[in-house]
Amino acid sequence: MKIAIASDHAGFLYKGRIVELLRAAGHEVVDFGTDSTDSVDYPRFIRPAAEAVARGECARGIVLGGSGNGEAMAANRVRGVRCALCWDTTSARLARQHNDANMLSLGERMLSWEEARSIVETWLETPFEGGRHVARIRQLDERSPEETP
């Protein structure tokens, strides 16, 4: 699977470890930065990763920051992205099963490496259930009346 990845400075260390984990599992990784722990503005890196997922250039995406909150918000501004901020394997599993999350957000300052690794593995391995959840996903992707051109 082709996976987009991006972080700010506070998620940089786990980003590198996740890239290694993904490549070792046979995934292709597109790294949208950042490239160090120097302070940066996360939207500059997160938005291009989310846009690559929304365009279908990458099947999924993973974004990281200190808490993961801002990164999830930035990714979810892109139409077609369903980015879930996950804090354990249960939230990761449900994000895929029920919400068909195509992006995952993690907070490096909130999780041990082992927790982060387990969340990523669970999120990657869990399929979307479909069924009753499909209509809800469609509703997420619908334009609101004020957005209609």
Query: 28 in helix, strand or coil?
Result: strand
Strand ranges inside 80-143, DSSP E: 83-85, 103-107
Query: Quick one: tokens of 44?
Result: 């500059």
Query: Quick one: tokens of 31?
Result: 């790294």
Q: Which of 9, 20, 28, 71 is catalytic?
A: 71
Burial of 95 from C-beta contacts in 10 A (0-12 / 13-18 / 19+)? buried
Catalytic annotation on 71? yes
Query: 68 in helix, strand or coil?
Result: coil
Q: Which of 27, 98, 115, 129 is catalytic?
A: 98
What residues are labeled active site? 71, 98
